[in-house]
Amino acid sequence: MKELPILMNGDAVRAILDGRQTQDRRPIKPQPTGWNPTPNTEGAWLFCVAGDMDYSEGPFNSPFGSSGDHLYVRETWAEAFEINKIFYRADVDVDGSVPYEMGGAGGFGGGVGNAKIDKWRPSIHMPKRMSRITLEVERVWVERINEISEADTIAEGCELAEGYEELAMAFFKQPHRQVFIEMWDDIYAAKGFGWNTNCWVFGCEFKVLEEVK
């Protein structure tokens, strides 16, 4: 069993904590040119390439590892040394503050405070000991991004805009998939892995093994 870091943005963190997200997909880098992907070793995949003769391309290492591995989530965070607290940007309230439990408030033994964070630290710099979410990988696969189903986009945590659910369902045959397409392009189009490229991706299904709220 391996322990691997995985970067998650605020939307994904909230979806995981809410129990809405149980799948994730990431582009394979660099993109393979072949077809018929097959697992090679743990977390690595080979592609069979058609030509004058068949040969293997790869291996391409999965960022999710393989079944049974653990992923510790890295997210945008801050540390307040003066009150010995770790804050996570995904928890920011509508007023820009982060609520937290505090002890000894007003001499009554507890209460709720609100912290304003001046400087957030990027998720890439989060050490493992600061991570509050651990995921257990249940399965890993390879597919083209356009192959994702409506059910899978729901498992990716996609939601319809509040108040527009009926309209979205009437307008789109697969409304959650449409949300996913827009979300995917927001993240990956500028990086060369937009929806229209139909790029190869690693897919992962997971369960929350541990979380600290």
pLDDT digits (tens, 9 = 90+) for 192-206: 999 999 999 999 999
pLDDT band at 174 (very low <50, low <70, confident <90, very high): confident
pLDDT band at 5 (very low <50, low <70, confident <90, very high): very high
pLDDT band at 106 (very low <50, low <70, confident <90, very high): low
How high is the pLDDT of residue 82?
79
Q: Tokens at residue 63, please?
A: 């960022």
How high is the pLDDT of residue 139?
97
More confident residue, 80 or 168: 80
* Average of per-residue pLDDT across 91-114: 75
Residue 112 has pLDDT above 80, yes or no: no
Query: How far apart (Å, rounded) are the C-alpha atoms in residues 158 and 191?
Result: 21
Q: What percent of the chain has pLDDT over 70?
A: 88
Query: How far apart (Å, rounded) are the C-alpha atoms in residues 162 and 198?
Result: 29
**DSSP codes, 27-85:** E-SSPP--EEEEE-STTEEEEEE-SSS-EEEEEEE-TT-STT-EEEEE--EEEETTTTE
Residue 33 has pLDDT above 60, yes or no: yes
pLDDT digits (tens, 9 = 90+) for 37-86: 999 999 999 999 876 667 889 999 999 999 999 999 999 999 988 788 99
Rg of the Cα atoms in the chain: 20
* Average of per-residue pLDDT across 134-151: 97
Statement: the pTM of the whole predicted model exceeds 0.85: yes
- Non-local (6+) Cβ contacts of 68 within 8 A are 1, 136, 137
Residue 213 has pLDDT above 60, yes or no: no
- Residues pairing with 207 in the sheet: 136
In degrees and rounded to multiples of 5, residue 51 shows phi and psi of -175, -150
* Average of per-residue pLDDT across 12-27: 97
In degrees and rounded to multiples of 5, residue 120 shows phi and psi of -90, 150
Domain boundaries along the sequence of the chain: 3-76+123-149+198-211, 77-121
How high is the pLDDT of residue 60?
97
Query: How far apart (Å, rounded) are the C-alpha atoms in residues 121 and 179?
Result: 28
